[in-house]
Amino acid sequence: MTSPASDIPPHVHYAIIGRFLGFQALAPHLPTIALNGSRDTVARLTQRLCWLTNEILDDPDTTRTLGEFLRSLVSRLDDEVHGLNDEAQSVAQPVIEELIRLVAEFEAAPYDPLKKLTDAAAKAAAEYYKTFAAVPDELWQSTLPRFSWVNGLIGLSFVSAIHVQLWTEFGNYDYPTARVMVKIAPRELDLDTIAALPRSLLHEYVAHVPQGPHSERRLHPDTNDIFAEGWMDYIAHLIFKEAIKRQGPSLEIGVSPHLTWIDLHEQAAERFFNARRAFSDSDRTAAARYLGAATARQLHVLLGRLTATAGNPDECLYRLSLDLNVSRLGNAARERFAANVHLSMKRASRSDVVIAPLREWAAGNISSEKFFERVISY
């Protein structure tokens, strides 16, 4: 992976770091706070954290260093806690202590949280492709994330409560290059958005970045592409669920290995996945995403039932899906494959369109490419 490019100025970077560290300190204590019935304390700390980070957003000419800003953030949040009653203070003080620890660790070894999450998603995707499909090393090496920001309100097209926008752009070259574009709204950077970032990023790195063909200029699929936006998002979701629990061939993914963060990431991933497939009058592409994901799931179930593949249905689904995504086939052919699989699952008279070549593939008698060809050409 190449180094990321960023259009985020220093004062905005300060605010993003402050929010990440603040919510990272707060999240592990949410179960205890909720158990004590102190939701007002959470709201007050959250509002103060947002107010203080918004102040730096309004100060582009600040002369403070990042360390000075973060230490001031801790001090002013501590002042807020000391203004609470004794019961609320006892609940909130561990959050401040955790934030002091996180800031000290950050100052000792600074990092960019957006880059950290992006690198983790990229590495997780690369490990799965390395295990199950052939992707040129130069593809990952030439993939460049780019970070930008907006001062207003933004959100994903299918769930506006996640305040980020992500998309992938392909380079105009005959070898694979890509840029993963990450646009953040720092004033709206809340716990739900941070929790959803790993799953959102993984979609780009699983479904789009490795897309073939790799020997000619690549064309981005349409937003209503049932394979790229539906089928491959189902695959990304499976990979995420394994990765967040440190299963499968992936590396660490997420803000923190703390159990509370794992729960937050899992909940956010389910909301993300469900929202992508939810029908809406304002989102005419949701039906395609729903159909693609449902078809991938149906094949997954079939792989678990066929004798030849029942022992490793996940591995078989990964191998077929990732192989198809990186193949020389175009977007239309991949969509045709997904559509024919869907039809074969709906009609018993067409079941052999998939099952017969699938058994041959599982037995090692035909290649993945031949399997795709037979399903597509039916």
Secondary structure, 3-state, 347-374 = CHHHCHHHHHHHHHHHCCCCCHHHHHHH
Kindly report each contact of residues 44-50 with a partner whose C-beta sits within 8 Å and lies 24 or more positions away, as own/partner. Answer: 44/80, 44/84, 45/77, 45/80, 45/81, 45/92, 45/95, 46/190, 46/191, 48/76, 48/77, 48/80, 49/18, 49/19, 49/22, 49/23, 49/73, 49/77, 50/19, 50/187, 50/190
In this predicted structure, the answer to whether residue 5 has a pLDDT above a threshold of 80 is: no
Half-sphere exposure of 344 (CA within 13 A, CB side): 23
The answer to whether 68 and 17 are in contact (CB under 8 A) is: no
Per-residue pLDDT at 348: 65
**CA–CA separation, 37 and 114 (whole Å):** 33
Phi, psi angle pair for 111, to nearest 5°? -155, 165
Q: Are 169 and 179 in contact, with CB atoms under 8 Å apart?
A: yes
Of 23-37, 198-212, 262-276, 279-293, least confident by mean pLDDT is 23-37
pLDDT, tens digit, for every residue of 92-106? Answer: 899 999 999 999 999
Q: Is the pLDDT score of 3 beyond 60?
A: no
Q: What is the mean pLDDT of residues 103-127?
A: 94
Which residue reads 């490419």 in tokens? 369
Euclidean distance between CA atoms 264 and 59, whole angstroms: 32
pLDDT tens digits for 314-371? 999 999 999 999 999 999 999 999 999 999 988 766 778 899 999 999 999 999 999 9
Percent of the chain past pLDDT 90, that is, above it, reads: 69
pLDDT at 173 over 70: no
| pLDDT at residue 349, as a whole number | 62
pLDDT at residue number 175: 66
Higher pLDDT, 19 or 349: 19
Residue 248 reports pLDDT greater than 80: no
> What average pLDDT does the chain have?
90
Q: If you compute the radius of gyration of the chain from its CA atoms, what whole number of angstroms results?
A: 23
Global pTM reads: 0.93
Q: Residue 278 has what pLDDT?
A: 87
256 vs 252: CA distance, rounded Å: 9
Mean pLDDT of 292-296: 96
Contact present, 183 and 165 (Cβ < 8 Å): yes
Q: In angstroms, what CA-CA distances link 62 with 12, 17, 48, 156, 195?
A: 11, 16, 20, 31, 29
Question: Minimal CA–CA distance to 239: which of 300, 151, 162, 169?
Answer: 300
Across 270-290, average pLDDT = 88
Q: Which of 59-63, 152-156, 325-329 has the lowest mean pLDDT?
A: 152-156
Q: Give me the percent of the chain exceeding a pLDDT of 70.
A: 94
What gap in Å lies between CA 232 and CA 322, rounded to an integer? Answer: 8
Cβ-based neighbours of 64, under 8 Å, separated by 6 or more:
14, 72
What tokens does 122 get? 């990229």
Q: Higher confidence at residue 115 or residue 177?
A: 115
Determine the average pLDDT of the residues in 175-193. Answer: 91
The H-assigned helical ranges of the chain are 10-26, 30-35, 39-57, 66-82, 86-108, 113-132, 137-141, 191-203, 232-243, 259-276, 286-305, 313-326, 331-346, 352-362, 368-376
pLDDT at residue 260 is higher than 90: no
Tell me the two tokens of residue 141: 């090496």
Q: What is the mean pLDDT of residues 76-80?
A: 95
Rounded Cα distance between 178 and 128, Å, is 18
Asked if residue 37 has pLDDT above 70, the reply is no
Q: 1: pLDDT confidence band, cut at 50, 70 and 90?
A: very low
